[in-house]
Amino acid sequence: MSYNNTIKRLKLLENAKPYYSEKQLASIEHAIDFASKAHAGQKRASGEPYISHPLSVADILVDWGMDIDSVLAGILHDTIEDTETLDADIEKLFGKDVAFLVNGVTKVSKARSGMRNLDNYLPQTKDNLSKLLIAVGQDIRVIIIKLADRQHNLSTLQYLPKKKQQKIARESLEVFAPMADRLGMGRVRMQIEELAFSYLDPVEFKKLKILMRKRLGKSTRKLGEVRVQVETELKKHNIKFEVNGRVKSVYSLHKKLQKVDGNIDNIYDLMALRVIVDKKEDCYLVLGILHSLYQPMISRIKDYISTPKPNGYQSLHTTVITPNEQIVEFQIRTQEMHEYAERGLAANFHYNEQKTTKDYIKSKKSSTLPANMQWITQLQSVVTKLKQDEKISKDQLNVDLFVDRIFVYSPKGDIYNLPEGALPLDFAYLVHSDIAKHTYGFRVNNKIHPFDKPLQNGDVIEIITRKLSLPKQAWQEMVTTTHARNKLRGQLRQIGVIGIITNATSIMRRKSDRKKEKEENAIKK
């Protein structure tokens, strides 16, 4: 092992020491020795020995707070794909769970080739997405390890040819950044987007970076004064707090500018102040204090604590105008909320061996997952259909995988998670297919709601049923999710609606063919 990799090895072990037992640290050393021998003689595009990559991936996983099996899989993740190592070797030395994770990461790696352009929905893309879905459906840690792998690969992209840089960057932006966002891993999403965007559009990236530097240079001093005022006021109220700054990422600015016709003056959150407190109650207390100090922009007050974002993000947001007419955004959250905002689902592992990832993630019962993570178990139905080789369109996969999510509620307060743009029947079939079957109408927020009007985040939905009501052919245009569409089609077949319509179409086609044949014969005569 080279001098640089010896340093990386020591750094990984040093970073891991506070969080893992002596036995676990020994298993990390064992995995490093095994991977070093397996990758002996292999080089990265940078010229470094290959082992430098798995060491870096494992270090990222330690930083994210992942469990010991994930860290070991991070060290070993390329051994099956790139060396003579077999699944059985990993299982014998490191256990079934580690072998399963390494095998899952290998499947996702093999799926990459068909994911470079989701707009070209070719048969091989379906096959590759199938592998990705199966990997996710079985254990979400596979994707978290893959995200660590992708983050490190992006950081060393400069050593690859330009064409390959573009391919990896686009794939990162289209597939892996949305996946990180769905897992609530905000910091990871931002890092992936930032690196990928810098390779996809380097001219625009540099231009926006210069623009941001100029803007921030003017406002940093004024923002420092606001920070001092806020800290002084919070101390008077004996609130335990921490204040820090947050600068908008270049890629986020790029997307925001597209929404405001390129006018940066309409963007108020280039830099924000973040207030972190101990308790949820203190979040609302701080909000009141800020509004007593400065004039709030009412339309820009967002309570993501009582109604979290679809990926589980919680925080209070408010934008205020100071006496010197500076516009400042504040984010207010607890330390726990901040941990989740930064690390998302990875924050749930917290090196906690008592709350095993097997119980938390591998269970197929959606009730064992937080509401914002129920989409993971919903992928099971898509995986099943793909395994059975049933037709699933690119649009359906996009709805289920890559669009934003919303939270909706039953009248009893149960939380359900749906893709943005979902319709009431999607909700009904998610609650129970037998209830959906007898749907007569919907009340949303105590008002009658049409079948074809999309639901909104936070809606309270009541399903009105009648025993004599049955699914209709027209309902197929009033569902958006794969789950609802499949359940509905099954019911329509059961009551003979699809069969009757298909048969009628067949009769009409035969009649048309006979008529056409007679006309052709008449012409010949």
Residue with more model confidence, 117 or 216: 216
pLDDT 10s digits, 294-346: 999 999 999 999 888 877 889 999 999 999 888 899 999 999 999 888 888 77
Round to whole Å and give the CA distance between 172 and 193: 7
pLDDT of residue 218: 66
Give me the architecture of the 204-345 domain, per CATH.
Answer: 2-Layer Sandwich (3.30)
pLDDT of residue 459: 86
Round to whole Å and give the CA distance between 286 and 318: 11
pLDDT of residue 518: 58
Lowest mean pLDDT among 175-189, 238-252, 434-448: 175-189
Q: Name the 3-class secondary structure at 404.
A: coil
CATH class, 3-200 region: mainly alpha
pLDDT of residue 501: 45
List the catalytic residue out of 81, 91, 194, 303.
Answer: 81
Average pLDDT in the chain? 82
Residue with more model confidence, 222 or 256: 256
Q: Are strands 295-296 and 271-277 parallel, antiparallel or unpaired?
A: unpaired
The number of beta carbons lying within 10 Å of the beta carbon of residue 330 is 25
Query: Taking 90 as the threshold, does the pLDDT of residue 265 lie above it?
Result: no
Q: How far out from the chain centre does Cα 202 lie?
A: 25
Retrieve residue 39's tokens: 């990758």
Predicted confidence band of residue 231 (pLDDT cuts 50, 70, 90): very high
Share of the chain above pLDDT 90, in %: 50
Predicted confidence band of residue 235 (pLDDT cuts 50, 70, 90): very high
Lowest mean pLDDT among 1-10, 71-80, 463-472: 1-10
pLDDT of residue 504: 46
Query: Taking 50 as the threshold, does the pLDDT of residue 136 lie above it?
Result: yes
Query: Taking 60 as the threshold, does the pLDDT of residue 4 lie above it?
Result: yes
Round to whole Å and give the CA distance between 58 and 75: 6
Q: Are strands 415-419 and 241-247 parallel, antiparallel or unpaired?
A: unpaired
Residue with more model confidence, 18 or 378: 18
Predicted confidence band of residue 12 (pLDDT cuts 50, 70, 90): very high
Query: Taking 90 as the threshold, does the pLDDT of residue 3 lie above it?
Result: no
Give the list of residues 6+ apart from residue 265 with CB closer than 8 angstroms, or none. Answer: none
pLDDT of residue 410: 87
Predicted confidence band of residue 408 (pLDDT cuts 50, 70, 90): confident
Give ranges for CATH 3.10.20.30 in the chain: 363-494
pLDDT of residue 263: 83
pLDDT of residue 108: 76
Give the list of residues 6+ apart from residue 496 with CB closer than 8 angstroms, or none. Answer: none
Highest mean pLDDT among 227-231, 321-325, 480-484: 227-231
Question: What is the phi/psi pair of residue 462, to 5°?
Answer: -110, 130
Predicted confidence band of residue 372 (pLDDT cuts 50, 70, 90): low
pLDDT of residue 363: 41
pLDDT of residue 354: 37
Retrieve residue 522's tokens: 């008449």
Lowest mean pLDDT among 45-54, 187-196, 473-482, 497-506: 497-506
Predicted confidence band of residue 288 (pLDDT cuts 50, 70, 90): very high
pLDDT of residue 319: 94
Query: Taking 70 as the threshold, does the pLDDT of residue 368 lie above it?
Result: no
Task: Give yes or no for a contact between 323 and 266, defined as CB atoms under 8 angstroms apart.
Answer: no
- Clarify whether 63 is annotated catalytic: no
pLDDT of residue 54: 96
pLDDT 10s digits, 449-470: 999 999 988 789 999 999 999 9
pLDDT of residue 386: 55
Query: Taking 50 as the threshold, does the pLDDT of residue 36 lie above it?
Result: yes
- Clarify whether 225 is annotated catalytic: no
Give ranges for CATH 1.10.3210.10 in the chain: 3-200
List the catalytic residue out of 33, 63, 69, 82.
Answer: 82
Predicted confidence band of residue 51 (pLDDT cuts 50, 70, 90): very high
In 3D, which of 380, 363, 365 has the Cα closest to residue 130?
380
Lowest mean pLDDT among 77-81, 119-123, 475-479, 512-516: 119-123
* CATH of region 363-494: 3.10.20.30
Q: Is 323 exposed, middle or buried (0-12, 13-18, 19+ CB in 10 A)?
A: exposed
Round to whole Å and give the CA distance between 92 and 73: 14
Quote the pTM value.
Answer: 0.74
Round to whole Å and give the CA distance between 244 and 173: 28
Round to whole Å and give the CA distance between 357 and 336: 19
Give ranges for CATH 3.30.460.10 in the chain: 204-345
pLDDT of residue 31: 97
pLDDT 10s digits, 110-124: 665 545 444 444 444
Query: Taking 60 as the threshold, does the pLDDT of residue 228 lie above it?
Result: yes
Residue with more model confidence, 361 or 257: 257
Q: Is 178 exposed, middle or buried (0-12, 13-18, 19+ CB in 10 A)?
A: middle
Query: Taking 90 as the threshold, does the pLDDT of residue 160 lie above it?
Result: yes
